[in-house]
Structure 1
Amino acid sequence: MKRISVFVSIFFLCIGLSACATTGGPLHIASGQGDLTAIKNALHAGADPNEHKGKMTNIVDGWSPAGWGGPPLHHAAYYCRAEAARVLIEKGADVNAKGGIGLTALHRAAVKDCVEVIKILLEKGADINARDTGFQYSPLEWAALSGSSNAVRLLIEKGADPEEAMFKLQTTNKGKLPSTMNPEAGVQLLSAVVRRDKKAGQPAGFKDMFEGGRPEARSDVDDIPSAKAKLNKNAYAIVIGIEQYRQKLPKADFAVSDAKIMVEYLTRVLGYPEENVITLLNDHASNVDLVKYFEKWLPNNVEPGASVFIYYSGHGAPNPKTGDAYLVPYDGDPSFIDETGYSLKRMYAALGKLPAKKIIVALDSCFSGAGGRSVIAKGSRPLVMNLQTATALAANMTVLSASSGEQTSSTYDEKGHGLFTYFMLKGIKDENVVKPDGSIAISDLFGYIKPQVERIARKQYNNEQSPQLIGAKKN
């Protein structure tokens, strides 16, 4: 363990301060200096463009290559020598060759914000998702850690996944990084770039979780209220909206719209930092995604005294044999719900381990299998479940459910949202239930939601839908 720590320290000294050099020959030095004539002469004399120089020495001739050696292309990339990189590649340099701790030339260029080199490397086939062997970071994650904002923007435009990068940095072991590398600052940079690109319009190739952008307002709740609570850096949320499924399941109408607008209320009204809100839509809400964020991201981020908000809009399903209720992920299959679903018991158990002061779970779904936002295995009959007694909740947790166990949950077509979600948002907007610190007076909010949902469900849909408030603490 001590040996590894020394290795890491030396590596960052070299990467961060450029204080190390290789015993590299003329081609390595010329590549770092961008001396095209010297590069061509060295190649003409038989120098290998893929030779790895890894022995560390003192600074050579006033120039210091980028830590732990590597092929000449790595030195050109680290020092932003775009033309040198182009010449080396033309002469056979491998754009995906790995140097010290498995870094590629693209990693090196990303660390130093060398956008012209990045463009050349990607054009010539560099792997945008390559991970080093020491920390398992991608070029985008290294760029964010290094504060290289131009590289972050370019890599995202070229297809790197900012959500994956934010998750990686949020779950990193800070103890393995030097004090100069701040994962939280990296997450903030990624979040800021994503936010700026949304405002400017989605660039080509940008993998945006809000595919197609936010829809035009269809109801009063889509007009976000101007009042905003004070930013709470210790507030975290997971928002899930699954409208379309991999299996041939009925569409969960408006589930994505529900999730998108909920994110805006959290960040623009309730004081949740954007970087603390995870949004999972459609195919980004697979079973693996739910496990990852509930059972890894939350425990790694939530601190004592935190506020946690969970929102789910999409299908629920029962297990006909056990009566357990499940969220249906994007890749869920009601016929194999144990294997492909994410049970409420499992979710509540994961949440119950958090050191949070208050946890609110809002479920615009139903679990009977009788239709609406509920599905069931073919040939099975709908179930009557008692959500109030189905699972014991932690003392700091409160659950708002769109309907009781035997009922279905309706959409409010003229408003473009789930019926429960619409009145939840309307209550937050109009009913003075938001406290100055951004917390919600749950009993007051529920007291508004329940009769409104029951009235509209009965009048417009001839349906009985009674929202439920579950949990020991309801204030």
Structure 2
Amino acid sequence: MKKTITFILIVALFLVLPSCATLTQLGKAARSGDIRQVETLLKNGADVNETALMGVTPLYEAVLYDAPIEIVRLLLDNGADVNRGMGNGWKPIHLAVDNGNAAVVKLLIDRGADVSFQNPHGKTPLQMAQENGQAVMLRLLQDAEEKQYKALFAKSDIEARPSIDGGSVSILKSDVDDPPSIHSKNNHSAYAIVVGIESYRQQLPKADFAARDAQTMTSYLTKAMGYPEENVVTLLNDRAAKSDFEKYFEKWLSNNVETGSTVFVYFSGHGAPDPKTGSAYLVPYDGDPTFIAETGYSLSRMYTALGKLPAKEIIVALDSCFSGAGGRSVLAKGARPLVMNLQTGTAISKNMTVIAASAGDQISSTYDEKGHGLFTYFLLKGIKNEDVLNPDGSLRMDDLFGYISPQVERIARKQYNNEQTPQLIGAK
């Protein structure tokens, strides 16, 4: 089993389950895979949702120990609560994903498993499947997430949704959350790295909606723009450390991209300037603006790595800012915001186009009522509604920028009393 299952078992061994006596009889039968005993106990009136310590149910036991799917189905047929799990956040759907059991994942989804629940590490089942490279389960979970969102927001754009701790959170449904209906033919030489960092290890201000920005961008790439799921790396929050940037930008891409390939890079999160050099940095999950040169990932380093690729076309979209003046940027304590020129600050290769959320002396805003970064919202809306997507999945960047720029400027000025001017940067 994978690491998370091992961790659960270790914790259970020492803290929760010193002996099988702590389990219910039905739980013991379910974990052992004894379907006849399960049937007998159910016929004799056993409570299918009776819990042992930590809220462990027979269904949880069956999925945790990868019991035959017939036992899982039998428990569900007899009223097992598909969404009941341990008090720390683990649900049966997480366990099935972690076990790599796509059949059980589908069964749980069909029986109403809520795919929005996060495990104790803040991961939804979809994020777990993305990180594990489980393409089949990824499709199942993406479809389930879309269906549940549609059902949730069928009557209203804002609804109360249960959170892990039993409270509720407001989730916005935006008109750009569903990818366009057009489906480009899969381009097996198209590769993408999508990064969304909303929460940071150093307790930096949150980059609101950044993770959602990235997840939606991935959906557009894989469902409308012809990028195969196995060719798209999505890095969210603590999966987007500096070492992850180095791994995927400098190793994974170079190992996969060939002559004629297309590369798409998207980043949503904080940027930061180096007050000593004026260089612009992306802030990874473990980045510290006080030591940005050591813990950040500079734009120049990213552009250099991308420039070495033999790709036909490279597009970089940055929903971030780098002045340190606020918005989606951070700054070392005691330093002053900088005026940066993203147009001339770093040389880029001839095959690369960069579209950035704002100018170097501006901040990048969030579009709260839409639940996305302001720039990202119109980036997605442009792809969806403005006929800028070619049949092969490529983008007409001039047309897309011509739509994004005035829209972002208008909303920033009208709603936030702020100047935000997107930038389109190409090789000189």
Range class of TM-score, shorter chain:
0.5 to 0.7
Higher RCO (C-alpha 8 Å, min separation 6)? 2
Give the whole-Å Cα distance in 2 for the aligned partners of 1:364 and 1:199: 26
Partners of 1:238 and 1:277 within 8 A in 2? yes
In structure 2, distance between residues paired with 1:156 and 1:376: 47
Match of 1:327 in 2: 282
Aligned to 1:291: 246
Q: Which residue of 2 aligns with 1:403?
A: 358
Q: Retained in 1: the 8 A contact 2:210–2:269?
A: yes
Task: Give the superposition deviation at 1:259.
Answer: 0.7
1:12-71 per-residue CA deviation (whole Å, 9 max, x = no partner) reads xxxxxxxxxxxxxxxxxxxxxxxxxxxxxxxxxxxxxxxxxxxxxxxxxxxxxxxxxxxx
State whether structure 2 residue 298 is matched by structure 1 residue 348: no
Q: In the alignment, does 2:141 pair up with 1:191? A: no
Displacement after TM superposition at 1:164 (Å): 5.9
Q: What amino acid does structure 1 have at the position aligned with 2:254?
A: P
1:382 and 1:220, CA in 2 relative to 1: closer, same or farther beyond 3 A? same
Structure 2: which 5+ runs fail to align? 1-32, 35-61, 68-96, 106-118, 120-124, 146-162, 165-169
- Mapping for residues 378-393 of structure 1, pairs under 5 Å: 378-393=333-348
Q: Distance in 2 between matches of 1:261 and 1:161?
A: 16
Match 1:449 to one of 404, 409, 412: 404
Aligned in 2, Cα 1:197/1:451: closer, same or farther, shift over 3 Å?
closer
Matches of 1:392 and 1:472 in 2, distance apart?
A: 7
Does residue 373 of structure 2 align to residue 430 of structure 1? Answer: no
Q: CA deviation at 1:223?
A: 3.0
The residue number in structure 2 matching 1:418 is 373
CA–CA separation in structure 2 for the residues paired with 1:414 and 1:163: 28
Query: In the superposition, relative to structure 1, how do residues 400 and 198 fare at CA in structure 2: closer, same or farther (>3 Å)?
Result: closer
Q: 1:268 to 1:198 in 2, by over 3 A?
A: closer
Q: CA deviation at 1:155?
A: 13
Residue 169 of structure 1 is matched in structure 2 by none
1:430 is displaced (CA, Å) by 1.1
- What SS does the aligned partner of 2:380 have? helix
Cα RMSD after superposing both structures: 3.1
CA distance in 1, matches of 2:340, 2:418: 18
* TM-score with structure 1 setting the length: 0.59
Tell me the residue number matched to 2:184.
Answer: 229
Offset of residue 163 of structure 1: 5.3
Among 420, 423, 427, the alignment partner of 1:465 is 420
TM-score in terms of structure 2 length: 0.65
Cα deviation code 1:357-414 (max 9, x no counterpart) = 0000000000000000000000000000100011100000000000010000011111
3-state SS of 1:220 partner: coil
Superposed CA deviations along residues 422-454 of structure 1, whole A, max 9, x for unmatched, are 111111111110111110000000011111111
CA deviations 1:147-180 (Å, max 9, x no partner) are xx997428999999765654xxxxxxxxxxxxxx
| Distance in 1 of aligned mates of 2:324 and 2:368 | 21
Correspondence 1:153 to 2:153: no
Q: Tell me the distance in 1 between the aligned counterparts of 2:99 and 2:174.
A: 39
Name 1:14's counterpart in structure 2: none
Contact 1:373 1:408 in 2 (8 A): yes
Work out the CA distance in 1 between the residues paired with 2:181 and 2:426: 31
CA distance in 2, matches of 1:301, 1:284: 21
Q: Which residue in the other structure is 2:57 paired with?
A: none
Q: Is the 8 A contact 1:412 1:419 kept in 2?
A: yes
Q: Which among 307, 310, 314 is matched to residue 359 of structure 1? A: 314
Structure 1 residue aligned with 2:262: 307
For 1:221, what is the secondary structure of its paired residue? coil
State the AA in 2 paired with 1:312: F
Task: Give the greater-gyration-radius structure (CA).
Answer: 1
Q: 1:119 to 1:455 in 2, by over 3 A?
A: closer
Question: 1:423 is paired with a residue of what secondary structure?
Answer: helix
Q: Which amino acid aligns with 2:138?
A: V
Decide whether aligned partners of structure 1 residues 268 and 315 sit closer, same or farther in structure 2, where only a CA change above 3 A counts.
Answer: same
Write out aligned runs for 1:166-205 (5 A): 166=133, 190-197=134-141, 199=143
Q: Which amino acid aligns with 2:296?
A: G
* Matched letter for residue 234 of structure 1: S
Q: Retained in 2: the 8 A contact 1:316–1:367? A: yes
1:119–1:253 distance in 2 versus 1, CA, 3 Å? closer
1:462 & 1:165 partners in 2: Cα distance?
A: 43
The residue identity in structure 2 corresponding to 1:458 is: R
Task: Give the distance between the partners of 1:290 and 1:156, measured in 2 at CA.
Answer: 33
**Is contact 2:347–2:427 with CA below 8 Å preserved after alignment?**
no
Judge which range, 404-413 or 224-233, deviates more.
224-233
Question: For 1:312 and 1:453, how far apart are their aligned partners in 2?
Answer: 17
* 1:68-101 C-alpha deviation (Å, 9 max, x unpaired): xxxxxxxxxxxxxx99xxxxxxxxxxxxxxxxxx
Task: Say how many residue pairs are matched.
Answer: 300
